[in-house]
Structure 1
């Protein structure tokens, strides 16, 4: 079956679309595009006309997505069942997952991408894939009752939209204020005393913050290093998660078929530019709450720590390398730069080794990272605290990712020991 990929993919995409459209009507009955282009068949492309949030469309309400800020998530008609944003995307929506994901208070994330008919996503070796104007990325956050049983009971909290309009990306947060619909939460939302049981059987209770729409730019933007008063460059808003290295993994599709996501997108005519030598595409290490950190070799530990630091920190802690000239992440000037494609052996100081903390610091933690000594490394403290003055990441979490903290602690402790200069 693997040796006859295109027919299998076409059939799979067709079955997904029929399920999303609610049945098996013929293409002449419902306007479906051919199976070979089904994956990016978005039931029409944005017309450019001013949309209406209450428009009665047969598929995705593209015009509203491109022009309006609607009060309810259901106004955009992204899901066949408006009360369930975790499955059943409207025709053209494709589910995806990441090999190592940004931690967000133990929530499970349901991700879908919608690309208008006739447009494709362009491959990028290092940065987020280049999504065309009209793209909509949805991410729904649901807190499981028990993180060891994520297919069990869960509380759906919010759905975030990233919409690529003609003037750039726009972020909109929607809070599930009822079981039937999510409402716009421009000013954010705070939920108190939520709880879950983690993989170690511990009950965790914490507050959860749905971000303000304005907060999204702090993580999603790269900023210019202004060189003078006449430098008018503006910050650039970018997606964070959907990079080739995190999509380069198998995914179980709705009909049970397991297939590599990048190959699935390419063979479904959603992704262009995927290298012919697929083995040359970078593949980030897999890390999740089930990972047995104690069993990892030093090489595996290094790979997983790099992936974790990249997805959780490097959207801010980055500079040069693959960015446009003159741009950096919001914390790129801090000296800690944690991109996945940055080699530790070339510049340990970029990973915080024996580097004085720039952002405040704390007594008892003289350097960001002290190899072999996680207990006195400021980076480790920042990952393990919920104190707003010190925690990292600053946004997106109210509790400590204990499994992730163990990973980074183990990574620091196994680094080749170095004698950092005494603090004056």
Structure 2
């Protein structure tokens, strides 16, 4: 696709097992600013593209655009059965696709997850893109190095990719803690961080120290889901931990709350194993 740069992330948002194709586009002569926390600030006119596929069939394409006034807005497109075109949706939509329920979010719902506190562009940050990608020309290279060589950053990256933070892949070879913390970062921290709309004091960003996450042996802020003695995270006891319970849940108690109808069983197992391995709070 002319003008679109492909990218991938280390720890993706769970989307009911869908495969994803991701692209970004920045206007000519414009650059991305990398903040001290590794978040990327895109210039006006930028477009982020993500297409969701189930069993190799395109289902939805989402555009996230920064308009000339600086405001971000999301748009969902529904692919036709012939895979020849996608139609812009006016609002949310739920339909059966490949034997499962697929939810298309409304424009307002896009901003419920793409929060101001998280910088709007979820996934577009140094620790997420610090990985190799196989490009359409057949070459493989670190994405940060490629984008830096293209002059995409206004002040550089602040170091070589090897020296920069990197999220762990949930299904990779990292420690249970690193994989769990990466999952919580990409699936929960957009709301559960300082200034976020999640409420409470929990800070689930990967860069936050365990003690400063404010979850260990802490009572839940939004109900106990019927769990006796519930804690946000109970060391050694995933069955008493709200973090685990909300990942297991479907319906009203589920987190993340939008656009998912299936439990991410593999990641739940990783998070439960991490919680079970803990013996005390710091």
TM-score relative to the length of structure 2: 0.92
With 169-178 and 119-128 compared, the bigger mean Cα shift is at 119-128
The structure showing larger relative contact order (alpha-carbon pairs under 8 Å, at least 6 residues apart) is 2
Larger Rg: 1
| Deviation per residue, 1:69-92 (Å, 9 max, x gap) | xxxxxxxxxxxxxxxxxxxx1x22
Equivalent pair of 2:148/2:157 in contact (CA under 8 Å): no
Structure-2 separation of matches of 1:193 and 1:143: 8
Instruction: Tell me: CA distance 1:250–1:193, structure 2 relative to 1, closer, same or farther (3 Å).
Output: closer
- Structure 1 outlier segments of 4+, above 4 Å: none
Which residue does 1:282 correspond to in 2?
165
Could you tell me which runs of 5 or more consecutive residues in structure 1 were left unpaired when the two chains were aligned: 1-88, 145-153, 196-205, 224-235, 320-327, 419-424
Equivalent pair of 2:41/2:119 in contact (CA under 8 Å): no
Which residue does 2:221 correspond to in 1?
358
How far apart are 1:237 and its partner, in Å?
A: 6.3
1:378 to 242, 251, 268: 242
Structure-2 separation of matches of 1:97 and 1:192: 27
In the alignment, structure 1 residue 335 sits paired with structure 2 residue 238: no
Could you tell me which runs of 5 or more consecutive residues in structure 2 were left unpaired when the two chains were aligned: none
| Deviation per residue, 1:214-253 (Å, 9 max, x gap) | 1011111236xxxxxxxxxxxx961111101111111111
Structure ranking higher in helix proportion: 1
Structure-2 separation of matches of 1:101 and 1:407: 15
Which residue does 2:274 correspond to in 1?
411
Local SS of the residue matching 2:41: coil
In the alignment, structure 1 residue 109 sits paired with structure 2 residue 20: yes
Structure-2 separation of matches of 1:125 and 1:173: 31
Which residue does 1:184 correspond to in 2?
88
2:11 to 94, 100, 104: 100
Equivalent pair of 1:101/1:311 in contact (CA under 8 Å): yes
Structure-1 separation of matches of 2:149 and 2:76: 32
In the alignment, structure 1 residue 391 sits paired with structure 2 residue 254: yes
How far apart are 1:172 and its partner, in Å?
A: 0.7
Taking only aligned residues, the RMSD between alpha carbons, in angstroms, comes to 1.8
Equivalent pair of 2:73/2:111 in contact (CA under 8 Å): no
Which residue does 1:162 correspond to in 2?
64
Structure-2 separation of matches of 1:368 and 1:125: 29
Equivalent pair of 1:219/1:330 in contact (CA under 8 Å): no
Structure-2 separation of matches of 1:263 and 1:400: 35
Q: How many residues align?
A: 277
TM-score relative to the length of structure 1: 0.62
Which residue does 1:133 correspond to in 2?
44
Instruction: Tell me: CA distance 1:250–1:169, structure 2 relative to 1, closer, same or farther (3 Å).
Output: same
